[in-house]
Chains A and B, each alone.
Chain A
Amino acid sequence: MTLSAYLPTWPLSISPALWLALALVIAVLVGEGLVRYLRLPRIVGYVGIGLLLGPAGLNLIPELPAAEWRLLVDLALGILLFELGSKVNLRWLKANPWIAGTSLLEAAATFFAVFGLLLWFDVAHVTAAVVATIAIATSPAIVVRTVTESRARGQVTERLLLMTALNCIYAIICHKLAVAFMHGETGASLIHTVLQPLYLIGGSALLGWLFGSAFNSIHRHLGRHEETFSFLLFGMITIATIVASTLKLSPMLILLAAGLIVRYRRQRPRTFLPHFGSAGAVLVVLMFTANGLAANLDGLRGSMLLVVLLILVRTIAKLLSVLVLARFSGINLQQALALGIALVPMSSLTLLLTLDTATAFPDFASGLGLVLMSSIVILELAGPILVQMALRGAGETLEEKT
């Protein structure tokens, strides 16, 4: 017998998963530290450690392979989008049309502000439109996670959830339309320009409806046992995500629509465990760390000014829209300020839209894609802090409730 029979051979061959696991452990520890000593949200630690240890930072830990990263983000974001949808009461829009108005104004203002800025920077119309649609979305991941963590409730919190769900829908749909136009411009025939978005929207809505119905009937029979139910739901979200990708539909739109449909049809809410149990919660934490690892700050080198201005005009557009209609929609200026600020974060959803565009258009990947990616990194780190500050300022987090 030789030493090599029972000792590992040098250099050690290490599974890439170890690095992610290691990053996860450190990220969670740092996250706890942030909460305990600085009263900052945990996500900042998750994303920050990924960023710090990953290729964009100290380069100690390699980036996750693209396919694994994508699967992880699809699942975790799917859980968060379904969770967001199921927390939102669409009937509220009927009782208070001013909220619908605020949401539309906020989305339109964001689009035109970003679109105008990009034209000013001599970006082609279609490309500017694609970026502007992506900028509409507020990060559902950061919003849901921060609201859950700070156990916030109140007018600002509920409007934040509702308006985030709505602007994600606008962003996904408008992005598909804009991308279809981009295809039209690069040579595809008119029929595809029209049919592709129709297929995406119609198909996603149909699948969302099917998912919601299946969810409702399973819930009716098994809802009493919370744990069993969480497992089932988790499986269903996975299936929906994979089916959606297979059919080239938008998994994000499907799961968000499914959540909304579940809430709308049941009329009465159901309180689930946060992220539907600990398996979901682990995925969510992993997603944020993986996002940090995948962070790309190349855009800051070439187009720092554009990145800063993009963040600035987007923030101002959202903030002003909310402030203008605040009085009519029944909140005071302080609450409107909080809501406007809380709508600023960008994260996974925006990242996926950016990457999807980059895959289809290599020019985009090396140009405006980088600008968006840098903006996302900044708003993913600052976002949770902004949301927490806003909700605290509005007196809606639990620790203020004493």
Chain B
Amino acid sequence: MSLMPFASSRPLSIGVELELQLLNCNDYDLISSAPDMLRRIARQTHHGEIKPEMTRSMIEINTSVQHEYAALVEELHSLRNTVADAGRFLNIAVAGGGTHPFQHWSEQKIFDAPRFHYLSDLYGYLAKQFTIFGQHVHIGCPGPDEALHLLHMLSRYVPHFIALSASSPFVQGHDTGFASARLNSVFSFPLSGRAPFVLHWEDFERFFSKMTGTGVVESMKDFYWDIRPKPEFGTIEVRVCDTPLTVEIAAAIACYIQAMARYIMVERPGEPQEDDYLVYTFNRFQACRFGLDGVFIDPRTHEQRSLREDIADMLLRIADHATELQAGEAMAQIRQILATGNGASWLRQTYAHEHNLSDVMQQQAKLWMND
């Protein structure tokens, strides 16, 4: 099976996908109510797309193709209101965040049914792996080679996106110490990580057909790369972000990536190099583990600084591009995150105050639903 041709899209157009968690309003554990939510939502007209996800306790909202922050955030507000209203109607809470802090997988095993033991042994691990919630950002590219160029140039900044969106410190009832524990689940997939260092679309097509020839993959969907090309949309898709705790932050992060993409496309600050990836996994780990306080090593100068500093520096460098894209408000949001912390720190503070992960989850849902 060959790769479909790279569609054309308007450069720097953006689209946001958010995976959301559905919670019951009693103990704020996940609830398999996606069919109920989708049935309710189907009866209303709404912007963008709202669709099911891998497990029944998640749904995904997709914006249409957008070009700037104001319209993006407006569409996200409208999508959020549609979902939140459906939730209120059905007594289901909806929340952002990269992980659910206390799914009772271990408890389910206690339940004494032979069939359940069997299925849980077979699929339990995969189910666990997939009940995580991410934000995907699409950036429109004028052509396939430009897309690959942008992809490899953006890789340097992947830790930025991780640290800004990180909102999954709790897993299975415990503080993991990570800002984004969600990505640890993604990394354990064999085809995760970075895209191969290929800068021309013909080379990428050759790589893809070799991979399909091995039988390991069938389509682009089988690659769980941090950034991957999406030929049918004519975009590249940044997939490292946790779903932030509010749609405003989701929009701001999308526009931060957009402004950075404009900087890369317009100023062409150097060409991507294979050696840029020498520090890639180290930087990414630092971002997952320590968030904005993580250490960042510049792949070219080998200079060390905190991610917070590197992001602040980047904000200055892309300021003109952000202005050009009318993303001033988004950049102010990013600065706000640098000053007051990301979703992970909000969650830890809330936990310190509430002492109870159910209550944290309730606050988290309140925040997302704008109650």
CA A334 – CA B348 in complex, angstroms?
42
B31 touching A153 by the CB < 8 A rule? yes
B31 touching A269 by the CB < 8 A rule? no
B113 touching A158 by the CB < 8 A rule? no
Nearest CB on B from A144, distance (A): 13
Q: Give residues of chain B (112-163) contacting chain A, Cβ–Cβ below 8 Å.
A: 112-113, 115-116, 119-120, 123
A330 touching B108 by the CB < 8 A rule? no
B91 touching A96 by the CB < 8 A rule? yes
A154 touching B26 by the CB < 8 A rule? no
Chain B residues with CB under 8 A of A158: 24, 26, 91
Nearest CB on A from B360, distance (A): 11
A155 touching B27 by the CB < 8 A rule? no
Q: Which of B12-20, B33-41, B291-299, B336-344 contacts A (4 or more CB under 8 A)?
A: B33-41
Residue of A at shortest CB range from B122?
A402
Q: Please tell me if B32 contacts chain A, counting CB pairs below 8 Å.
A: yes
Q: Please tell me if A220 contacts chain B, counting CB pairs below 8 Å.
A: no
Q: Which of A54-62, A87-95, A234-242, A357-365 contacts B (4 or more CB under 8 A)?
A: A87-95
Q: Give residues of chain A (52-107) contacting chain B, Cβ–Cβ below 8 Å.
A: 87, 89, 92, 95-96
Given contacts A89-B91, A95-B88, A330-B89, contact A153 B24 (CB under 8 A): yes
Q: Please tell me if B81 contacts chain A, counting CB pairs below 8 Å.
A: no
Given contacts A153-B31, A399-B111, A399-B116, contact A271 B89 (CB under 8 A): no
B26 touching A269 by the CB < 8 A rule? yes
**Of the residues A36, A224, A332, A398, contact of B111 by C-beta under 8 Å:** A398
Chain B residues with CB under 8 A of A95: 88-89, 91
Given contacts A96-B91, A154-B33, contact A398 B108 (CB under 8 A): yes
Chain A residues with CB under 8 A of B33: 154-155
Q: Please tell me if B90 contacts chain A, counting CB pairs below 8 Å.
A: yes
A331 touching B36 by the CB < 8 A rule? yes
The A interface, classified by DSSP as helix, strand, loop or mixed, is loop
Given contacts A154-B33, A155-B36, A330-B40, contact A96 B113 (CB under 8 A): no
CA A330 – CA B33 in complex, angstroms?
12
**Of the residues B26, B40, B88, B90, contact of A271 by C-beta under 8 Å:** B26
Nearest CB on A from B43, distance (A): 9
Chain B residues with CB under 8 A of A331: 36
Q: Give residues of chain A (257-297) contacting chain B, Cβ–Cβ below 8 Å.
A: 268-269, 271
Q: Please tell me if A192 contacts chain B, counting CB pairs below 8 Å.
A: no
CA A153 – CA B91 in complex, angstroms?
12
**Of the residues B26, B90, B120, B123, contact of A155 by C-beta under 8 Å:** B90
Chain A residues with CB under 8 A of B206: none
Residue of A at shortest CB range from B29?
A153
Q: Please tell me if A401 contacts chain B, counting CB pairs below 8 Å.
A: yes
CA A153 – CA B119 in complex, angstroms?
20
CA A89 – CA B23 in complex, angstroms?
14
B32 touching A401 by the CB < 8 A rule? yes
A332 touching B116 by the CB < 8 A rule? no
**Of the residues A92, A154, A268, A332, contact of B31 by C-beta under 8 Å:** A154
Categorize the interface residue count of chain B. 20 to 34
CA A398 – CA B29 in complex, angstroms?
13
A330 touching B39 by the CB < 8 A rule? yes
A330 touching B88 by the CB < 8 A rule? no
CA A95 – CA B93 in complex, angstroms?
13
Chain A residues with CB under 8 A of B115: 399, 402
Q: Give residues of chain A (109-156) contacting chain B, Cβ–Cβ below 8 Å.
A: 151, 153-155
Write out, one digit per residue, whether chain B residues 81-118 have a CB within 8 A of any chain A CB (1) or not (0): 00000001111000000000000000010011101100
CA A89 – CA B39 in complex, angstroms?
22
A402 touching B91 by the CB < 8 A rule? no
Q: Give residues of chain A (364-402) contacting chain B, Cβ–Cβ below 8 Å.
A: 395, 398-399, 401-402
B355 touching A224 by the CB < 8 A rule? yes
Chain A residues with CB under 8 A of B113: 399
Residue of A at shortest CB range from B90?
A330
Q: Please tell me if B25 contacts chain A, counting CB pairs below 8 Å.
A: yes
**Of the residues B29, B89, B116, contact of A402 by C-beta under 8 Å:** B116
CA A387 – CA B135 in complex, angstroms?
40
Chain B residues with CB under 8 A of A268: 359, 362
Given contacts A96-B89, A268-B362, A330-B90, contact A402 B120 (CB under 8 A): yes
Chain B residues with CB under 8 A of A151: 111
Chain B residues with CB under 8 A of A92: 25, 91
Write out, one digit per residue, whether chain B residues 191-225 have a CB within 8 A of any chain A CB (1) or not (0): 00000000000000000000000000000000000
CA A79 – CA B36 in complex, angstroms?
32
Given contacts A269-B25, A330-B36, contact A96 B116 (CB under 8 A): no
Chain B residues with CB under 8 A of A87: 26
B27 touching A271 by the CB < 8 A rule? yes
Q: Please tell me if B358 contacts chain A, counting CB pairs below 8 Å.
A: yes
CA A332 – CA B39 in complex, angstroms?
9
Chain B residues with CB under 8 A of A395: 32
Chain A residues with CB under 8 A of B120: 402
Q: Give residues of chain A (215-254) contacting chain B, Cβ–Cβ below 8 Å.
A: 224
Chain A residues with CB under 8 A of B40: 330
CA A95 – CA B371 in complex, angstroms?
13
CA A154 – CA B26 in complex, angstroms?
11
Q: Give residues of chain B (349-371) contacting chain A, Cβ–Cβ below 8 Å.
A: 355, 358-359, 362
CA A89 – CA B115 in complex, angstroms?
34
Nearest CB on A from B217, distance (A): 28
Residue of A at shortest CB range from B35?
A332
Chain B residues with CB under 8 A of A271: 26-27, 358
Nearest CB on B from A93, distance (A): 10
| Other A-B pairs, 20, CB within 8 Å; known A95-B91, A158-B24, A330-B36 | A95-B88, A96-B89, A153-B24, A153-B26, A154-B33, A154-B36, A155-B90, A158-B91, A268-B359, A269-B25, A269-B26, A269-B27, A330-B40, A330-B89, A398-B108, A398-B111, A399-B111, A399-B115, A399-B116, A402-B123
List A residues at the B interface (Cβ < 8 Å).
36, 87, 89, 92, 95-96, 151, 153-155, 158, 224, 268-269, 271, 330-332, 395, 398-399, 401-402
- 22 CB < 8 A contacts A-B: A36-B112, A89-B26, A95-B88, A95-B89, A96-B89, A151-B111, A153-B26, A154-B31, A224-B355, A268-B359, A268-B362, A269-B25, A271-B26, A330-B36, A330-B39, A330-B89, A331-B36, A399-B115, A399-B116, A401-B108, A402-B116, A402-B119
